[in-house]
Chain A
Amino acid sequence: MFAITAILVSCDKSEKQDEEPAKVLESTDYSGALTVNASSGTFTTDSIKVSFTATEKTDSASITLFQVKFTPRMPVTLDVTVPGIVVTKTEKGAVLTCERVVPLAMGGEFPNYTVNGFEGEIVDDELTFSLNFGSTPTSYQGKAL
């Protein structure tokens, strides 16, 4: 009886390990300043919420920027998700990199604002990254909530 129980517990553990591999970093929400170098000039918006969401892969994540504008006169704000970010763990956090990727917004892919030149890192409780949304250079610096 003890042996059967031990086997079952062992199997259950190994299944859980298969389902939930250890993530490099846990999902975290940040709040900070978003700076956009638009053609009309540079503008910064404070208190922009960004969610860093670790995906099922150990070294993969997505970043969602909530209610952002890409020009000051834009009459709407958008939630934009940058998927496919590669997370490399460092001593104090992680380095974030990303190849050219189509962001997700408005219920699907949003090729007009294809992301390129993504560079970022998480150090302690601070997230910083820069990227180009299409041809619009954008940077972010925020602290964990």
Chain B
Amino acid sequence: MPGLHIPDYGASLTSTIYLRGMGSRMENPVMGLYIDGIPVIDKNAYDFDWEGITRITMLRGPQGTLYGRNSMGGILSLSTVSPADDSRPTVSMEYGTANTTRIGTHFSIGNHALSVIFRHTDGYFNNTYKNELTDPYDGISLRWKWERHTTERTTVSNILQTNLSKEGGFAYRLWQDSTLNPVSYNDEGSYRRLSVIEGLKFHHCGDAVKTDLVASLQLLSDDMHMDQDYTPKSVFTLQQKQLSSSGTVELTFRRADECALWQPQTGIFAFYRHNDLTAPVTFKRDGIETLILNNANCHIPEDIGYLTITDNTMPVNSDFVIDTWNTAIFHESVFDMDRWLLTAGIRLDYEGGIMDYDCMARLHYRFMPTMTQDKELTVPYKGSVSRNHFEVIPKLSLLYKATDVVTIYTTASKGYRAGGFNTQIFSDILQNLTMNAMMKDLGVYLDRQFVSVSADNTEYDPENAWNIELGTRLHKGSFSASASAYYMDVRNQQLTVFPPGMSTGRMMTNAGRSRSIGVETELGWNPERFRSHLSWSWCDARFVSYDDGNNDYSGNPLPYVPKHTLSVGAGYGFRLSDKTLDIDATFNGAGPFNWDETGARQEPFRLKAGCRIALVFQNWEIYVRGDNLTDVHGSSFYFKSIGNEFYASCKPRTIMIGTTFKL
């Protein structure tokens, strides 16, 4: 899919998606994910193993009119095996590099369709400090679909999808003295997740109106542990544990007569999410020394004294209860006028949220030489912040069928990415409040106070984008092609920034405005037993205005956004008596991109080769497939933490052997 870039940031928690220059590694996604028409509310549940997927639909560009929040980059819609499909039970097994084992099956019985997949991998990157692999994974996904035509005109279906996984992760490597060191950290890096999505769909086709009701209940329980300094030192760790429950409902009405010139669609949507989140940061001995004591004592004259903290660990506990709600009403009309197709729509979208925070830092300190014994200091921080936003999301599209094989279209559409609350910054706030409280308790006042944002400033607004696009599609026989050019204007851009003052945290803020100009093209030619595809995108995404208070980055390319994405592949099926030998080769690449706003660190364009060779019999096949065959050593992620630079390496060469049976 041209323009779509989903890098591996170290764990399935971080399903970062970049599309048309948009995206960020924190908080809300720019692309919506729908499974059988049910929106996946939580980005933490985006990354799961696929089994029984029958169709993938990608809508690029803002889809806000019909899909609302978090669809400003596009929509990825997955359809799964249905009881109505006349599909045979399928069992597949795979084994390969890193003891990766994948076993999956999907089948239908009566009104039921079931798919299950299990995956294990030992991991790819060794943590040299612990001498163990840092990114093992065990996960199982199960999907059950029940579908029934209750009357000739009414269909009811129920979809239950669960995912349970336990994994390591965060294989981040220290970049020091122009050398990329191996993964080496001492504290726990892990992620556990239970995701349950229960959806109910109702479809009724009346004489004049088709009615669709889609409702879902979603549960996400996950627990992440991270060594935040990613070094063998005991600096600080983060746990992020949440129990999130959501409910969604969407009711749409469409005209039953699909041949009518005017095809209206009207709907309402609502969702509610309740999230209990606890995110304690624990400063350990090295962190207490370097981040807290050194920071304080460097401002205190030696002849006055110095501060000590006698605890080996200093917990900064942060508990949050976050409620988010959204309601929307939308309408879209399609006018089919012979060769012209006009689409116009609008969505009125309201979103609100409230966050209750209950944080506390506790430590024992002593000022030397004046104090003769330790003193306990407890700093509580409680309160509540709220946010409310109203969005108007229009769309206008015109399509012209130039010939039977060529269509030309132009679209102007808007989308938005929801706002939210910065929870990660609270440890930073508490850290600074603690230092100030300790100094006040001592009667020592630095000329420069420990500064951080306050909780009142932890909310951020939605980011929204206008997309203007011109494109063409061609389809003739076994050949298909599409090309589009777009211009996107992104306002209130959500950016991860380091707050002012002596901070270790980072936060999302509406700091900038950017624009993306790009071209996307896809070609496919699949005559007889030959198949080929090419998809390529070029994107120039730059800040129009972005000043973080220290530097002006206006005009600089957006970080993490690849300038090019390329996928090219070809395959052929050789007929061998009662079987077929399929040989496919692909090359996938993305880049170059900047790792930060300054452009000081860059990743070049890297192309990775893959192949699949399969011997296909009537009811089963056996295959070998490989990814990154030339073992390209690239990086998928870069960031800074407390002054250190880190890279996440791309996965090395993987070879898998597998078989699939159709019973």
A binding-site residues for B, Cβ under 8 Å: 66-67, 74-80, 105-110, 112
Contact = CB atoms under 8 A, between A and B. Distances in A.
B333 to A, nearest CB: 68
Contacts of B304: 76, 78, 106, 112
Given A75-B301, A76-B304, A106 B445 contact: no
A76 B304 CA distance: 10
A67 B370 contact: no
A75 B448 CA distance: 8
Contact of B443 (A105, A109, A112): A105
Given A78-B443, A79-B443, A105 B370 contact: yes
A76 B301 CA distance: 8
Contacts of B109: none
A122 B305 CA distance: 33
Interface of B: 299-301, 303-305, 366-367, 369-372, 375, 441-447
Contacts of A79: 443-444
Contact of A112 (B303, B367, B447): B303
A129 to B, nearest CB: 19
A106 B301 contact: no
B370 A74 contact: no
A109 B370 CA distance: 5
A109 B375 CA distance: 15
A101 B46 CA distance: 69
A77 B301 contact: no
Contacts of B303: 112
A75 B299 contact: yes
B370 A107 contact: yes
A77 B442 CA distance: 11
A80 B370 contact: no
Given A76-B304, A78-B304, A106 B442 contact: yes
Given A106-B304, A108-B372, A76 B367 contact: no
20 contacts: A74-B301, A75-B301, A75-B447, A76-B299, A76-B446, A77-B447, A78-B304, A105-B443, A106-B305, A106-B370, A106-B442, A107-B366, A107-B367, A107-B370, A107-B371, A107-B442, A108-B367, A108-B369, A108-B370, A108-B372
Contacts of B369: 108
A24 B532 CA distance: 100
A52 B301 CA distance: 28
Given A67-B445, A106-B305, A106-B443, A76 B371 contact: no
A78 B445 contact: yes
Which of A67, A76, A80, A109 has the largest count of B CB atoms less than 10 A from its CB?
A76
Nearest to A109: B370
B299 A106 contact: no
A76 B445 contact: yes
Given A76-B447, A107-B367, 4 more contacts: A107-B366, A107-B370, A107-B442, A108-B372
Given A110-B370, A112-B303, A75 B375 contact: no
A74 B366 CA distance: 21
B373 to A, nearest CB: 9
B472 to A, nearest CB: 67
Contacts of B375: 107
A106 B372 contact: no
A80 to B, nearest CB: 7
Contacts of B366: 107
Contacts of A108: 367, 369-372
A126 to B, nearest CB: 25
Nearest to B366: A107
A122 B446 CA distance: 31
A36 B59 CA distance: 73
Which of B372, B443, B445, B446 has the largest count of A CB atoms less than 10 A from its CB?
B443
A47 B367 CA distance: 27
A42 B128 CA distance: 60
Contacts of B443: 66, 78-80, 105-107
A16 B112 CA distance: 86
A67 B442 CA distance: 11
A107 B445 CA distance: 13
A64 to B, nearest CB: 9
Given A106-B443, A107-B442, A76 B370 contact: no
Nearest to A110: B370
A75 B446 CA distance: 6
A74 B371 CA distance: 21
Contacts of A105: 370, 443
Contacts of B446: 75-76
